[in-house]
A and B are shown apart, each in its own frame.
Chain A
Amino acid sequence: MSAFSQTGHIFREVRNNLLRNVTLFVGTIATVWVSLTLFGSALIIQEGVEQATSRWKGGIEFIVFMDPGATDQQHGLVRSQLDSSPDVASYKFFTKENAYEEFLEEFSDSPELTSDVTAEDLPPSYRVRPSTSDSAIIEALADEFKQSPGVRKVSLATDLIRTLQNNSEKISRFILITSVVVLVAALLLIFNTIGTAIFARRRDIEVMQLVGASNFFIRTPFVLEGTVQGLLGGAIAIPMLFLLNNLLEGFVEGDQLELLSNLVVDSGVVWSTSIWVLALGAVVGALGSGFAVGRHLKN
Chain B
Amino acid sequence: MIKLENVAKSYKRGDNVLEGVSFEVARGEFAFLVGVSGSGKSTLLRLLTRQERATDGNVFVAGKHLNKLKSWRVPALRRTVGCVFQDYKLLEDKDVYSNVAYALQVVGRNKREIEKEVPPVLELVGLSAKVKDFPNELSGGEQQRVAIARVFVMRPLILLADEPTGNLDPGTSADIMQLLERISQIGTTVLMATHERGIVDEMRRRVLELDDGRLVRDELGGSY
Instruction: Choose the segment among A187-195, A209-217, A271-279, A286-294 that binds chain B (4+ C-beta atoms closer than 8 Å).
Output: A209-217
B11 contacts chain A at the CB level, 8 A cutoff: no
- Do A210 and B83 touch (CB < 8 A)? yes
Q: Which residue of B lies closest to A9 (CB)?
A: B105
Q: How large is the interface on B (under 10, 10 to 19, 20 to 34, 35 or more residues)?
A: 20 to 34
A269 contacts chain B at the CB level, 8 A cutoff: no
Q: Report the count of interface residues on A (CB-CB < 8 A).
A: 21
- Do B108 and A203 touch (CB < 8 A)? no
Q: Which residue of A lies closest to B111 (CB)?
A: A5
Q: B49 to nearest A CB, angstroms?
A: 8
Mask for B66-105, Cβ within 8 A of A = 1, else 0?
Answer: 0000011011111110110000010110000000001101
B217 contacts chain A at the CB level, 8 A cutoff: no
- Do A212 and B89 touch (CB < 8 A)? no
- Do A212 and B109 touch (CB < 8 A)? no
Contact of B109 among A2, A207, A215 (CB under 8 A): A2
Chain A residues, CB < 8 A from B105: 5, 9
Q: A286 to nearest B CB, angstroms?
A: 20
Chain B residues, CB < 8 A from A211: 78-79, 82, 102-103, 106-107, 150-151, 154
Contact of A215 among B72, B92, B103 (CB under 8 A): B72
A177 contacts chain B at the CB level, 8 A cutoff: no
Not counting A207-B91, A207-B106, A213-B107, a sample of 14 additional A-B residue pairs whose C-beta atoms are within 8 angstroms of each other reads A1-B108, A2-B108, A6-B108, A9-B105, A207-B89, A209-B78, A210-B89, A211-B82, A211-B102, A212-B78, A212-B79, A214-B75, A215-B75, A299-B74
- Chain A residues close to B by CB (< 8 Å): 1-3, 5-6, 9, 203-204, 206-215, 217-218, 299
Q: List 15 A-B contacts (CB under 8 A).
A: A1-B108, A1-B113, A2-B108, A5-B111, A6-B108, A9-B105, A210-B78, A210-B83, A211-B79, A211-B82, A212-B76, A212-B79, A212-B80, A213-B75, A217-B106
